Structure 1
Amino acid sequence: MEIITINYPLQGLEDKGPIRPKTLAIGHFDGVHKGHQSVIRRAVDVARAEGLEAAVMTFHPHPKEVLGRGSEYTTCLTPLEDKLERFRSLRVDIVYVVTFNLTFAAVSPAAFVDEMLRPLQVKRAVVGFDFSFGAKGAGRAETLRELAGSDMKVDIIEPLMMDGDKVSSTLVREALAGGRPETAEQLLGVPFSLRGTVVKGEGRGRTIGYPTANIQLAGAYVTPRLGVYAVMAELSDGERYSGVLNVGVKPTFHDSLPMPVMEVHLFDYEGDLYGSTVRISFISFLRSEKKFASVQELIEQIGADALKARSVLSAFK
């Protein structure tokens, strides 16, 4: 899969080789949930059937972050690197990452079509029913179809519904905020996961019999509900381990921490993880974080958490 970062106005694309006719799925695609997947799969299927390149256009950073519309968009379900991994798994040939800045935000819908899509040789654009584009979101999916004319087909994908709700990034965020990773997995098609590097923490876990890896996140991920989770961890060598993770402020040992930390105890792992990359997949919420009256009480609770997590994760072995 080829990844090309582009800016408005387009320039320098001749250095990337000949531009070939393509289908293009367009959207931000945070989370690459099942609704997004239906858009991308349509573009890929058409490309394969018609002998075209299968492409995706996404925007970075999130338009709402640049335009200051909503603090929740300072965090992501899938930071760019994770999003690209998901595109690759969907058999996309090429990804255009458009730098979203105030200059691009001021581009009219017509200029977006004539100065971005046509030079990229887009023969078929695929968008979701709620797609918007151009300055102040003036362009809608039907607008794109009108502007495309006869030389560019536009497929508008209807919403994907689940239990009466439209599958959306917002719904995934709500599930994670509510401590419902199973629901998030149903919406995403895979467990919600995050990636990070193991760094030195306080070292307290080893002294109480449950050594933990302190995770420094590789991106501005959405933070799930604070508490204890049954998780699966994939190490940089591809090995997978089940475990129990706490995301929180460790109230038994601290009156307050400036931000939540993530610590994972991997079952049956022996070795040194410092400096290594790990991907954590959230499988099940076990309990809320709480302050314990003593360290011994905490140790007993961790033991109970570990037993419950092993039971929940037995199917993932």
Structure 2
Amino acid sequence: MQSIKLFYPIPNPLPGSPSSGQVLAIGDFDGLHLGHREVVSRAAETARKLGAPAAVMTFHPHPREVLGQDKYVRHLTPVREKLELFEQAGVNTAYLVRFDVPFSHITPSQFVEEVLIPLRVNTVVVGFDFKFGHKGSGNPDMMCELAAGRFAVEVVRPYCMDGIKVSSTLIREHLERGEVGRVQQLLGRSYAMTGTVIHGAARGRQIGFPTANIELDDLYVIPSNGVYAIRLELGGESFAGVMNIGTKPTFEDTDTRTLEAHLFDFSRTIYGEAVKVELIEFIRYEQKFSSIDELIAQIGRDVEQAKRITGHCAEKAENGVK
């Protein structure tokens, strides 16, 4: 898959755009949840039927961030991961449009004439609630009118689960409550974050539960403070573990949040290594303990629960580990 950065205004036609036309899915796609995947899959399916390339257009920074909604500074899927997911979905070209204040002021007509027409699209695929143009004044019906027969417009109905529309906002709300099991259902995969293992205060090792302190490599939406069963990917291998997200109130009085992962039956030194953490299940909220012994006892219970959740004991038995 090729990835192309676009800056408004766009040359007409855009050099390299297919002269025979392409099928283009458009959206923010933060999280690339099941609803988003429905839009992208429809574009890929239509492209196959037409014998045309499948493309995606998304925006960076997040439009809501540019328009002053600070919570959208953090992402469910940073750009790099979003592009990887597009490729897995069978997309041939991903257009990453720079979203800034001038771009936010273009009219719906300008969006069609000066963004879509230069890409030589023959079909545009959008969600039912897609908005475009200044202050979101354009909708799918208006896009059909502005297309004026030059390209087709396919509108994907809302994707619902248990009668509720799947959305990035809904996923963010579940993460704020630590409900990663529900998030996994809405995404169709585990919520994951990537980063690098850094040095910490080594308190985990001192109390018998050594941890890998993880510095995230992008501005992720970080779930609620608490303890989670996890899978950690490192160098092509996957390890079960338990992770605390929070401020370590038993030891410190600070607002700084950290991610500390304890991996089961793991003794390697991995400082500086790149890792990916998949959150499997929420165990409990972070709390302050009255003594270190009380904390150690609770961590022991957390570890046993996380082992059951991740099937770590079963894995050891299958591998003949005693």
Q: Same fold (TM over 0.5)?
A: yes
Q: Is the 8 A contact 2:43 2:125 kept in 1?
A: yes
Q: 2:283 aligns with which of 282, 286, 302?
A: 286
**Residue identity opposite 2:213 in structure 1:** N
Structure 1 residue 76 and structure 2 residue 75: aligned? yes
Question: Which residue number in structure 1 is paired with residue 127 of structure 2?
Answer: 128
Separation (CA, whole Å) in 1 of partners of 2:178 and 2:44: 34
Question: Which residue number in structure 2 is paired with residue 57 of structure 1?
Answer: 57
Distance change in 2, residues 1:177/1:14 (3 Å): closer
Q: Please, which moves more after superposition, 10-19 or 203-212?
A: 10-19
Separation (CA, whole Å) in 2 of partners of 1:64 and 1:183: 24
Question: Which residue number in structure 2 is paired with residue 169 of structure 1?
Answer: 168
Structure 1 residue 268 and structure 2 residue 262: aligned? no
Deviations 1:185-241 (A, max 9, x none): 110000111111111111111111111111111111111111000011111x21000
Q: Is the 8 A contact 2:12 2:118 kept in 1?
A: no
Q: Please, which moves more after superposition, 193-202 or 34-43?
A: 193-202
**Residue identity opposite 2:276 in structure 1:** R
Secondary structure (helix, strand or coil) at the match of 1:132 reads coil
Distance change in 2, residues 1:19/1:282 (3 Å): farther
Secondary structure (helix, strand or coil) at the match of 2:296 reads helix
Structure 1 residue 248 and structure 2 residue 266: aligned? no
Quote how far apart the aligned CAs of 1:296 are. Answer: 1.6
Separation (CA, whole Å) in 2 of partners of 1:142 and 1:228: 46
Return structure 1 stretches of 4+ with deviation > 2 angstroms.
11-20
Question: Which residue number in structure 2 is paired with residue 38 of structure 1?
Answer: 38
**Residue identity opposite 2:214 in structure 1:** I
Question: Which residue number in structure 1 is paired with residue 191 of structure 2?
Answer: 192
TM-score scaled to structure 2, two decimals? 0.94
Separation (CA, whole Å) in 1 of partners of 2:285 and 2:143: 46
Q: Please, which moves more after superposition, 52-61 or 289-298?
A: 289-298
Question: Which residue number in structure 2 is paired with residue 307 of structure 1?
Answer: 304
Q: Is the 8 A contact 1:176 1:224 kept in 2?
A: yes
**Residue identity opposite 1:229 in structure 2:** Y
Secondary structure (helix, strand or coil) at the match of 2:311 reads helix
Distance change in 2, residues 1:17/1:62 (3 Å): closer
Structure 1 residue 23 and structure 2 residue 23: aligned? yes
Separation (CA, whole Å) in 1 of partners of 2:157 and 2:47: 20
Quote how far apart the aligned CAs of 1:15 are. Answer: 5.9
Secondary structure (helix, strand or coil) at the match of 1:139 reads coil
Separation (CA, whole Å) in 2 of partners of 1:272 and 1:19: 53
Separation (CA, whole Å) in 2 of partners of 1:226 and 1:62: 25
Corresponding pairs, count = 314
Separation (CA, whole Å) in 2 of partners of 1:45 and 1:112: 25
Separation (CA, whole Å) in 2 of partners of 1:204 and 1:220: 26
Q: Is the 8 A contact 1:33 1:188 kept in 2?
A: yes
Quote how far apart the aligned CAs of 1:11 are. Answer: 4.0
Quote how far apart the aligned CAs of 1:30 are. Answer: 0.4
Question: Which residue number in structure 2 is paired with residue 47 of structure 1?
Answer: 47
Distance change in 2, residues 1:20/1:280 (3 Å): farther
Q: Please, which moves more after superposition, 295-304 or 242-251?
A: 295-304
Quote how far apart the aligned CAs of 1:18 are. Answer: 5.7
Q: Is the 8 A contact 1:20 1:53 kept in 2?
A: no
Question: Which residue number in structure 1 is paired with residue 217 of structure 2?
Answer: 218
Separation (CA, whole Å) in 1 of partners of 2:13 and 2:180: 41
TM-score scaled to structure 1, two decimals? 0.95
- Give % identity: 47
